Structure 1
Amino acid sequence: MTGQKKILIVFALAVFEFAGSLSVLASPPSPPPKLNPGLATIQTPDGFTIYAEIANTPDQRSQGLMYRTRLAPDRGMLFTFPEPGIWTFWMKNTKMALDMLWLDEKGVIVHIQHAAPICERKDNLCPRYRSNKPAVAVLELGPGRSKTLNLAPGKKLTIELP
């Protein structure tokens, strides 16, 4: 094989390899797999991620976090409603204190109830908690999490539903 043929073959192989790498670069990357399927992903303004179970039916909202004794620091429950309203919550049969954050249509916190205590009453006279401003969602977190995460009325959460 002559030197000129060798150079042409090496050149052709280099072009072929370069073209192949271009096709890999041109194809869009596939999105990363969702780590927590079925859960809402909520970003705080400071970049912390909360994964929340969704309660969007009357039965799910009624059950809420009843009978649970703890939540992981990055977990919560997101109650969603079809329209803005003054939604009332209570702690009947809930075995841990909770922070409750009422959110408007844009994900802005309109009210926080910090560490609502456990209610051990057997009747239906447990204290009720609500916002004075309309909300379309309520996020429940473990006690003290809203302070730890620097959350306050006026701060916006970014919510991605599954």
Structure 2
Amino acid sequence: MPTPLRTLTSRPFTTTLLLGALLLVAWLAWGSPSSDDGTQRVMWLGGERFQVELATTPTSRRRGLMHRPPLADNQGMLFIYPDEAPRSFWMKNVSFAIDILYLDADWRLVQRHESVPPCRRDPCPGYPSDAAARYVLELSAGTASRLSLERGTQIDPPVPVDAPKKKAPD
């Protein structure tokens, strides 16, 4: 009587199908890659243009701004989640201070943490939202205050980098 392993290896087509199915299940469980992940978009905040990198997968959201050089004054990272939920961020392996803005599903600012310092030793403190958030925008420290981005501020969603320029508010 053949062993189950020998039966599988003697049938390459069955083995290939089984491995393919396992890879598909693993891919779905981990989170399918997004075509937007890592791409650059433009956001207009307080009449100023910001170039933001999208973080749309579990891996890119976990990595965030870790092990990167400081953001320029007109740069940021936008974390996009599939649902609204309470969120919390930390500054592990980030070497510069940032502002963390939590936005709801309607792109309204629900919480902000300003000039959050880098974490120098474990355990790193968390910076939670006090309301459900679907999007989290990280900007250079001091940007939220400079642009008067307060709780309730409506933010325009990101647009492709080559989109027509938006006219600054009068």
Find the counterpart in structure 2 of residue 120 from structure 1.
Answer: 120
> Which whole-Å CA distance do the structure 1 matches of 2:71 and 2:88 have between them?
21
Greater Rg by CA:
1
1:11 is aligned to: none
Q: Which amino acid aligns with 1:101?
A: L
**SS of alignment partner, residue 158 of structure 1:** coil
Q: Which structure carries more relative contact order (alpha carbon 8 Å, separation 6+)?
A: 1
**1:139 and 2:137 matched:** yes
Question: CA shift at 1:40, angstroms?
Answer: 2.2
Letter in 1 for 2:108: V
Structure 1 match to 2:5: none
CA distance in 1, matches of 2:70, 2:82: 28
Divergent runs of 4+, >4 A:
none
Q: Secondary structure at the match of 2:60?
A: helix
Post-superposition offset of 1:108: 0.7
Query: 1:89-128 maps to which residues of 2 (within 5 A)?
Result: 89-121=89-121, 123=122, 125-128=123-126
Question: TM-score, normalized by length of structure 1?
Answer: 0.72
Identity between Structure 1 and Structure 2 (%): 37
Equivalent runs, 1:62-101 vs 2, <5 Å:
62-101=62-101
Report the secondary structure of 1:91's partner residue: coil
The two structures have a TM-score, normalised by structure 2, of 0.69
Q: Deviations over 1:118-137 (max 9, x none)?
A: 1021x4x1000111100100
- For residues 108 and 131 of structure 2, the distance between their equivalents in structure 1, rounded to whole angstroms, comes to 11
Q: Runs of 5+ in structure 2 lacking a partner?
A: 1-37, 161-170
1:94-128 residue CA offsets vs partner (Å, 9 max, x unmatched)? 0001100000111110000001111021x4x1000
Count the aligned residue pairs: 123
Contact 1:39 1:161 in 2 (8 A): no
| Aligned-partner residue type, residue 154 of structure 2 | K
- Alpha-carbon deviation of 1:161? 4.5
1:139 Cα deviation from its structure 2 partner: 0.2
RMSD of the alignment, in Å? 1.5
5+ residue gaps in structure 1? 1-36
Task: Please give the alpha-carbon distance, in whole angstroms, between the structure 2 residues aligned to 1:66 and 1:161.
Answer: 25
